[in-house]
């Protein structure tokens, strides 16, 4: 009888440790630096969780996916650009992505900026990487779609202005 009580005590202790750990994963905010994160249409919960975890926005990829499944939202996560940073816990982060609380990106192009300076500023604002922007700025098909002209690049296409 004494052995059964000891085994039960060990099992209960282990269960409590697991419950406390899971509660910590879900409810304790993770202090993270400001990060801009883009979710593409059709991204799975696990893809989103992997990226959020690698950027230090969430602690546990698996817990994010499991919570999304429990909330029946794994296929309802909204595409868009999000700004994370500060003290968000896992539930708050998941709710932001479920509701589509996206962030509008603003960028100001000052007078005299050339294409490379403009692309560097766009990269710093979190729009996309410099290299991917450079490829698009020199893509003849895209340039023709945007301007209706055959130009070598989009140099000078954005006038000095604040764009949203």
3-state SS, 39-60, equals ECCCCCHHHHHHHHHHCCCCCC
Q: Which residue has the higher pLDDT, 87 or 136?
A: 136
The closest alpha carbon to 66, from 24, 100, 94, 30, belongs to: 94
- Is the pTM here over 0.75, yes or no? no
Rounded to an integer, what distance in angstroms lies between the CA atom of residue 164 and that of residue 144?
23
Phi, psi of 138 (to 5 degrees): -115, 10
Q: Which residue has the higher pLDDT, 24 or 42?
A: 42
Rounded to an integer, what distance in angstroms lies between the CA atom of residue 58 and that of residue 31?
9
Rounded to an integer, what distance in angstroms lies between the CA atom of residue 40 and that of residue 146?
22
The CATH class given to the 29-99 domain equals alpha beta
Read off the pLDDT of each residue in 119-146 and give the average, rounded to a whole number: 85
Name the average pLDDT for the chain. Answer: 84
Percentage of the chain exceeding pLDDT 70: 90
| pLDDT attached to residue 65 | 94
| pLDDT attached to residue 33 | 65
| pLDDT attached to residue 32 | 58
Q: How confident is the model at residue 31 (pLDDT cuts 50, 70, 90)?
A: low
Domain coordinates in residue numbering, the chain: 29-99, 107-163
Angle at 33 between CA 30 and CA 34, to 5 degrees: 115
């Amino acid at each position: 009888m004494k052995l059964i009580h000891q085994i039960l005590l060990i099992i209960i202790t282990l269960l409590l440790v697991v419950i406390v750990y899971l509660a910590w994963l879900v409810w304790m905010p993770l202090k993270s630096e400001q990060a801009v994160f883009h979710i593409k249409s059709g991204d799975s919960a696990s893809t989103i969780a992997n990226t959020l975890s690698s950027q230090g926005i969430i602690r546990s990829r698996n817990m994010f996916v499991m919570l999304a499944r429990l909330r029946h939202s794994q296929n309802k996560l909204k595409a868009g650009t999000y700004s994370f940073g500060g003290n968000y816990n896992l539930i708050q982060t998941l709710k932001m992505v479920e509701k589509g609380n996206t962030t509008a990106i603003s960028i100001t192009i000052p007078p005299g900026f050339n294409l490379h300076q403009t692309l560097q500023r766009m990269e710093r604002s979190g729009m996309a990487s410099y290299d991917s922007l450079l490829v698009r700025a020199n893509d003849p098909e895209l340039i023709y779609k945007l301007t209706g002209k055959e130009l070598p690049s989009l140099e000078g296409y954005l006038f000095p202005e604040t764009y949203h």
